[in-house]
Structures are given as C-alpha cells and as structure tokens.
Amino acid sequence: MEEQDYLLIDNFFDGLLSETARQEVLQRVDKEPTFAAAFATTQKMQEWLRREPRRKVFEQTTAALGQSFFTEEKEENLATKSVKTIPVNNPVMGSRPGGLMKRGNIWAIAAAIALLVAAVWFVMRPQPPLYQQFALHTPPQFTERSGAFTAATTAETSFKKGDYATALTALQQLAQQRPDDPTVAFYSGVCQLELQQTNAARAVFTTLANGVSVWREEAQWYVALTYLRENDLEKCKQVLGTIQPDAERYKSAVRLLKKL
Amino acid sequence: MHTDHQYIEALRHNDPKGIRSIYERYAVEALKWVKNNNGTADDARDVFQEAVSILFEKAQNPNFVLTCPVGALLYTLYSRRWIDHLRTKKREYTVRLVEETRYNQETTSDVLSIAEVAEEEAVEQRRIAQAFAQLSEVCRRLFALLAEGIAPKEAASQLEMNSVDTLYRRKNACATRWRELLG
C-alpha cells in the first residue's frame, strides 16, 4: 500500500472524489485484499467517529441511571433467595454429621449475619439530601445544526458540565429562535431549578404539565422537585400524589413519597 | 424479530425514556445476581452498564434485528463480565449461582452467538477508542468537529488553520497516525 492509496481511501470517505473515482475505489476493494483491509479499517474509524457524539450522550444517560438504580436502598430491598453453590476451584468440602452444624445451616447463619451487618451499615451511613438523590437530569440533545447551532451546542456542553448559568443563558438565546420548542423550555426550567430560581422553574414546569407536549408527565415530576428543593414537603407530597400509575415517573414518585 | 427489539430501537435512537425502561426492567436482577456472587452495588452497576454499552454499539448497526429476549442477552453479557472479573482477581471464592430457571430455557445458542459477536465488536470499538485517545489534541479536535457536522471551513477557522486544504492535509496525516496506532 502506497501513501496515495490511503489518501484515496480518506478522500473517498470525505466525499471528495468524483463518482468515477468512487467506483474505481470500490472496484479495488473487490479485487485487492490489502486495499480492502485498509478500506475496512478506515470505515470502522469513520463509524466510530460518527457514533462518538451519540456515545457521549448515551454514557451520560447510563451514568445517571446507574447512580439511580444501583443504590444501597435497592440492595436493602433484595429478598433472600435460595442459592446453589458451584465451586470454582473444586474445594474439598467433606460431609459433616447431622444437627445444627449441617452445611445448609452454616450458610443460613452466615447469610443472616451478613444481612444484619449490611442493615446496620445501611442505617448508620450518612445519606445525601433527598433533592440530590432524586434530581437526576438526563442531558439535552439538540440535533438541529442551523443558525441556532452555537447556542444549542453551548447549552448542551454547559449543561453536561453542570454549568447551569451558562446553559440557561444559551437556552434563553435559543428560545428566541425557537419560542414554541417545549424541549428548550423544559431544560430552561431544569437550569432555573438547579440555580434555585424555584418560582421561575415551577412556572415553566406547570405550563408544560398542563400542555400536550412529550414533556407533560416529566414536567409534573419536576413541579414536585421544585417544592422538594424549597423543602416544602407538604406541597411536594400533594404534587407527587397526582402522578398517574401509568406515568414513567410513578415509581420514582412512590419511592420519594415513602421517604417524605 | 423479537418483541424486545423495541429496546434496540431505543438504544439506536438514544431515546432516554427507552434506555431508562431497560434499567427499570433489568437492573434489579443484575444487582441481585452480582450481590449473590460476591459483588457490590457498584460492581453490579459497572457490569450492567458495560452490558448495555455493548448492546448500544450493536444497535448502531441499522441492519441488526434482535431475535431473542433482551433480558437473556443482557444476563449473558453482564454475568460473563463479572465472572471474568472474579477470575482475573484470582479470588478463591466459590461462585454461587441463583437458580435462573427463567433464563435456562432462554439462553439458547441464538443468545450466546449474538452475545459473542457483540462482545467482539465491543472489543474492536474499544481498540479504536484507545488508539484515538493517543492522537494529538489537534487531531482529536479536528475529527470531533467534522464528526459533529461542522462545515470544513468553520472547522478550519476554529482550529486556526489557513484553509480547508490545510485542514484536509492535517486530517489525512491524523488518519495515517490513527491507523498506525491500530496496528
């Protein structure tokens, strides 16, 4: 493979070749194994690059979900199940006489002690405030690339970094170009909530909750979060009680109500 | 096509609600299984996230159609990763397996072959990512800008390059270096 072969392949993927030249490249892929291998490698590189922005959003989403779903509380709620032991290194476990020291009883006692220790540890450990436990925000993703590009990118990147002040400024600029976009409104509300501008945030979420956009149910949950942020637990409970069982946030609402 | 293909579509389109539904339905089982096999909640979170990430990469192929239960596939992926982790640590623990009667019937050769292919593809993606991480900052920024859809002229301006020709010359050099790192 010569350097101009790699250049040809790169130009192919950059869309810089004429149709005739493109067809010549594809013919070489069919006929020349070495050229085909280099083509395949470059194709994989291009695909990886193309997916990278989406992968970053995905990783943020799953990181937040992981924090929410794999908690000590979830461990606490696990029921004890019967288990089958399969030794990895074939340890010798001789049979024992009957009575209290049977193998099954030893495991049951050990499991009970472990559960007791875990329960004591769980109760004694310091808990983060309720708001921090439940205010887990999925980062925004604005896909349009037009004149609103810069504000959208600034809003996305600042939000992901937790710089809600900069994100809010960018979202307000974006709102001038997209005054009816409920996604822009929703994330403006989230930024205001994080900046403790709870009245303004609640106004945004209440409008969305009373509307017909895809954010309607989520906004209802966030109205509850605004009261939680203010430590107005009674109003928070009232709003949580209005979340319907078929709503996506219903389980979160039930969990939060138990803690209030 | 299995009815669980909806989860693949959610991953394919980065739908946060659909991805959340994967966690709502399968995270507790993963937590339970890892805890029963000498792991912690953090361990369960990590192996489950790796399993979902492998499915995410698989879902990016627009031609991929799920033909098995997604729960069985996730279980195969995260359980293997956890057992490999235990063996890597050379722990002397016994591996206690919960009676997985639900999955015994569903862990078919179909599930195993999809899992193996998906894991191989994920290894390849990691190799590409590791090689990319070794590129210079300029190369990484250049590729990132073009991948985000920034016009070449704008990308050249942001990177303080004189012209689009300069940008593409630099891009070709970066691609050559990236291929070298891939071996």
Kindly report the nearest CA distance between residue A27 and chain B, in angstroms: 22
CA A257 – CA A238 distance, rounded (Å): 10
Side-chain half-sphere exposure of A250, counting CA atoms within 13 A: 7
Q: What's the pLDDT band for A214 if we cut at 50, 70, 90?
A: confident
SS3 B104: helix
Query: How far is C-alpha A85 from the geometric centre of its chain's CA atoms?
Result: 35
- By Cβ distance, the residue of B11, B94, B99 closest to A91 is B94
Query: Per-residue pLDDT averaged across A217-224, rounded?
Result: 90
**pLDDT value at A251 more than 90:** no
CATH 1.25.40.10 range(s) for chain A read: 131-259
pLDDT at residue A107, as a whole number: 65
Domains of chain B, by residue range, sit at: 5-125, 134-182
Residue A87: the pLDDT is: 38
Q: How high is the pLDDT of residue A38?
A: 92
Q: If you ran DSSP here, which 8-state letter would residue B51 be given?
A: H
pTM (predicted TM-score): 0.55
Angle at A247 between CA A241 and CA A252, to 5 degrees: 65
> DSSP for chain A?
--HHHHHHHHHHHTT-S-HHHHHHHHHHHHH-HHHHHHHHHHHHHHHHHHHHHHHHHHHHHHHHHHHHHS-HHHHHTPPP--EEEE-SS--------SSTT-HHHHHHHHHHHHHHHHHHHHHHS----HHHHH--PPPP-----STTHHHHHHHHHHHHHT-HHHHHHHHHHHHHH-TT-HHHHHHHHHHHHHTT-HHHHHHHHHHHHTS-STTHHHHHHHHHHHHHHTT-HHHHHHHHTTS-TTSTTHHHHHHHHHH-
Lowest mean pLDDT among A99-108, A122-131, A248-257, B76-85: A99-108
A 103-142 residues with CB < 8 A to B: 138, 141
| pLDDT at residue A42, as a whole number | 92
Q: Which residue has the tokens 């590129």?
A: B135
B96: nearest CA partner in chain A: A85
Interface test with B, best of A16, A62, A141, A186 (most B CBs within 10 A): A62
pLDDT band at A98 (very low <50, low <70, confident <90, very high): very low
| Contact call for residues B76 and A105 (beta carbons, < 8 A) | no
Instruction: Extract the residue ranges of chain B whose pLDDT is less than 50.
Output: 92-94, 96-103, 105-106
pLDDT at B97: 45
Q: Is-contact B156 B164, C-beta < 8 A?
A: yes
Residues of A in contact with B33 (CB under 8 A): none
Cβ contact B76:B107 at 8 Å: yes
Got the DSSP string for B75-93? HHHHHHHHHHHHHHTT---
* Residue A211, pLDDT above cutoff 50: yes
Mean pLDDT score of chain A, rounded to an integer?
Answer: 79
Phi-psi map region of A165: left, alpha, beta (phi>0 left; psi -120 to 50 alpha): alpha
Do A207 and A220 form a contact (C-beta atoms < 8 A)? no
The Cα–Cα gap between B87 and A86 comes to 14
Band the pLDDT of A113: cuts 50, 70, 90: low
- pLDDT value, residue B37: 84
Per-residue pLDDT at B140 = 93
pLDDT at A146: 47
| Confidence bin at A153 (pLDDT 50/70/90) | confident
With beta carbons less than 8 A apart as the criterion, state whether A195 and A209 touch: no
Query: What letter would DSSP give residue B68?
Result: S
Does residue A187 surpass a pLDDT of 50?
yes
Angle at which helices B109-133 and B137-147 pack, to 10 degrees?
Answer: 130
| Chain B residues 66-85 with a CB less than 8 Å from chain A | none
Read off the pLDDT band of A119 (50, 70, 90).
low
Residue B32 distance to chain A (closest CA, Å): 7
Q: Given pLDDT bands bounded at 50, 70 and 90, which one contains residue A83?
A: very low
CATH code, A131-259: 1.25.40.10
Strands (E), chain B: 95-98
- Rounded Cα distance, B93 and B38, in Å: 8
**Per-residue confidence (pLDDT) for residue A128, from 0 to 100:** 53
Q: Which run of H or of E encompasses B107?
A: none
